[in-house]
Amino acid sequence: MSDVTRSMEATAPDPTATVERMRRSMPSGWVGAILLVASEACLFGSLIASYFYLRFDASSWPPDGTPAPSVVLPLAFTAMLVATCVPIYLGVRAARVGAVRTAWWLIFLATGVQATYLGLQIWLFVEELAKFTPRSSAYGSNYYALLGVHHTHVAVGLALGLWVLAKLFGGRLTNYRLNAVRILGLYWYFVSAMAILVVITQLWPSL
């Protein structure tokens, strides 16, 4: 019992890093987040499977009169989002050893890029709506629903990121907040992985 910590009593960077070092197993919040992400992955799986289910039923895909998706911009944007995994990863690592300020700046950098990504994607979304809409065909319905769900996930991630940044501002780290940082990291790895699957599905007719 001597090496069992009262983890929630860690309310400063050093004790928090000590708790983190002594932990033999994943914290509850992390296990919960893994399960949530697994369920969300299943949600994306269902959306993408539905896309291909309808696609293999269709004689022309996209339907006649609907332009095939342009490739360059979505791919470039996705690369931008996936690249934020690097500062997120480094930020989580810094937080785990108690380097709060480094963690804050890295997460801030990632959040900035992710916000830009979302802004650009929304611009592209609106641009495309002028060419065809979800009401044009089942292709349009699925295309926009898939992108809409993905963008919503990015927006939720941004809200989480801003929340974590607010909580870490001033250099205060607690065990509770460190768990939030680790979960934020996990969430962005997941959203980035989904972004790759979503963009492949989105661009399928042009690949």
Partner 1 sequence: MEATAPPASRTRTERLERIWKEPSGVLGWITTTDHKRIGILYFFTAMTFFAAGGIEALLIRTQLIGPNNTVLSPAEFNQLMTMHGATMIFFFVIPLSTGAFGNYLLPLMIGARDMAFPRLNALSYWIFLCSGIFVYVGLLTGNGPSAGWFDYVPLASKTFSPGPGIDFYALGLIFNGISTLAAAINFIVTIFKLRAPGMSINRMPLFCFAFLAVSFALVFALPPLTVALFFLELDRLLGFHFYDIFRGGDTILWQNLFWIFGHPEVYIIILPAFGIATSIIPTFVRRRMVAFPLVALAEILVALIGFGVWAHHMFAIGISTITAIYFAGASLIIVIPSAIQLFAWITTIVTGMPRFKTPLLWIIGFIVLFVMGGLSGVMFAAIPFDQQLTDTYFVVAHFHYVIFGAAVFPLLGGMYYWFPKVTGKMYYERWGQASFWLTFIGMNITFFPMHILGLDGMPRRNYTYSPDLGWTGLNLIETLGSYLLAMGLVVVAVNLIVSIFRGEPAGDDPFGGDTLEWSISSPPPAYNFAVLPTVSSPYANWDEEDRKLDKEKLEQGIEVLDQGHETAASTVVDGEWDEILEMPSSSPWPPLLAIALAGIFAMVLLKLWLAAAFFAVLVGLVLVAWHGGEPQEA
- Nearest approach in angstroms of CB 47 to partner 1 is 6
Cα angle: 107, vertex 109, 110; to 5 degrees: 65
- Residue 7's closest CA among 136, 130, 179, 165? 179
Pick between residue 23 and residue 93 the one whose CB is nearest to partner 1.
23
CB neighbourhood size of 190 (10 A): 20
Which residues contribute to the site for partner 1 (CB under 8 A)? 1, 4-9, 11, 19, 23-28, 31-32, 35-36, 38-40, 42-43, 45-47, 50, 53-54, 57-58, 63, 134-142, 145, 159, 163, 174, 176-177
- Least spacing, CB of residue 134 vs partner 1, in Å: 5
Q: Which C-beta is closer to partner 1: that of 77 or that of 104? A: 104
In this complex, which beta carbon is closest to partner 1, that of residue 99 or of residue 138?
A: 138
CB of residue 186 to partner 1, shortest distance in Å: 14
Q: Compare residues 86 and 148 and give the one whose CB is closer to partner 1.
A: 148
Q: Which 3 state secondary structure label does DSSP give 202?
A: helix
Helix (H) or strand (E) holding 165: helix 138-168
CA pair distance 7, 24, nearest whole angstrom: 12
